[in-house]
């Protein structure tokens, strides 16, 4: 996580200005369509995730929450994250205890990440879980959610 090399963070630059505004508006629309409420704290946490270029720890979000440097209380942020995950706007990366905004259109309830141990980037990709789901079915499991986290080195860090 930046501990091993000095490559620039992240594949995703983090959204700013109008791109950020658009992403938030899109989230508003999706909430409106399903009668969910993108309230102020939820919107703020989503904004922080979208602005960032790397997975964010919950306490990073807590610290950055207030406009003038005041932190949030932990439950405020954890509740917002729970909401954002439920709606597919964000994902938790278990092996990092960190959160990223969903970068993939449409909510599949499935997440897969390529995590660079060098620069800390976490790239979401569209998973093909065919093989695993058939293994699960064979074992009699009814799978509701499935997550995959692959650790390694991104292209830039492999090269550098």
Partner DNA sequence: ACACCTTCTGTTATGAGATAACATAACTAG
Partner DNA sequence: CTAGTTATGTTATCTCATAACAGAAGGTGT
Binding site for a copy of itself (CB under 8 A): 94-95, 112, 114, 116-117, 123, 125-133, 135-136, 139-155, 158
CB of 124 vs DNA, minimal distance in Å: 18
Rounded to whole angstroms, the maximal C-alpha distance in the chain is 54
| Closest approach of DNA to the CB of residue 99, in Å | 8
83 contributes a contact to DNA by CB under 7 A: yes
Q: Decide whether 24 or 156 has the Cβ nearer to DNA.
A: 24
Length of the chain: 160
Per CB under 7 A, 151 contacts DNA = no
Query: What is the spatial distance between Cα 150 and Cα 133, in angstroms, rounded to a whole number?
Result: 18
Does position 29 interact with DNA (CB under 7 A)? The reply is no
What is the total count of residues that contact DNA (CB under 7 A)? 19
Q: Which tokens in the block code for residue 56?
A: 């964010």
Q: Which two tokens stand for residue 21?
A: 């505004």
Q: How far is the CB of 27 from DNA (least distance, A)?
A: 14
With contact defined as beta carbons under 8 Å apart, do 1 and 120 qualify? Answer: yes
Angstrom distance (rounded) from CA 123 to CA 103: 9
Task: Please give the helix or strand (H or E) that residue 22 lies within, else none.
Answer: helix 17-33
- Binding stretches for DNA (CB under 7 A): 36-37, 39-42, 57-59, 73-76, 78-80, 83, 92, 97
């Amino acid at each position: 996580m930046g501990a091993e090399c000095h490559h620039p963070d992240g594949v995703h630059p983090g959204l700013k200005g109008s791109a950020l505004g658009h992403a938030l508006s899109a989230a508003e629309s999706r909430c409106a369509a399903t009668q969910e409420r993108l309230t102020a704290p939820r919107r703020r946490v989503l904004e922080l995730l979208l602005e960032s270029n790397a997975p964010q720890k919950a306490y990073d979000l807590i610290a950055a929450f207030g406009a003038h440097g005041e932190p949030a209380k932990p439950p405020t942020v954890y509740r917002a994250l729970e909401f954002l995950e439920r709606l597919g706007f964000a994902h938790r990366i278990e092996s990092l205890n960190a959160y990223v905004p969903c970068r993939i259109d449409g909510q599949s309830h499935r997440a897969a990440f390529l995590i660079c141990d060098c620069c800390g980037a976490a790239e979401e990709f569209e998973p093909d879980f065919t093989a695993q789901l058939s293994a699960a079915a064979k074992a009699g499991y009814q799978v509701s959610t499935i997550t995959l986290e692959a650790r390694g080195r991104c292209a830039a860090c492999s090269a550098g």
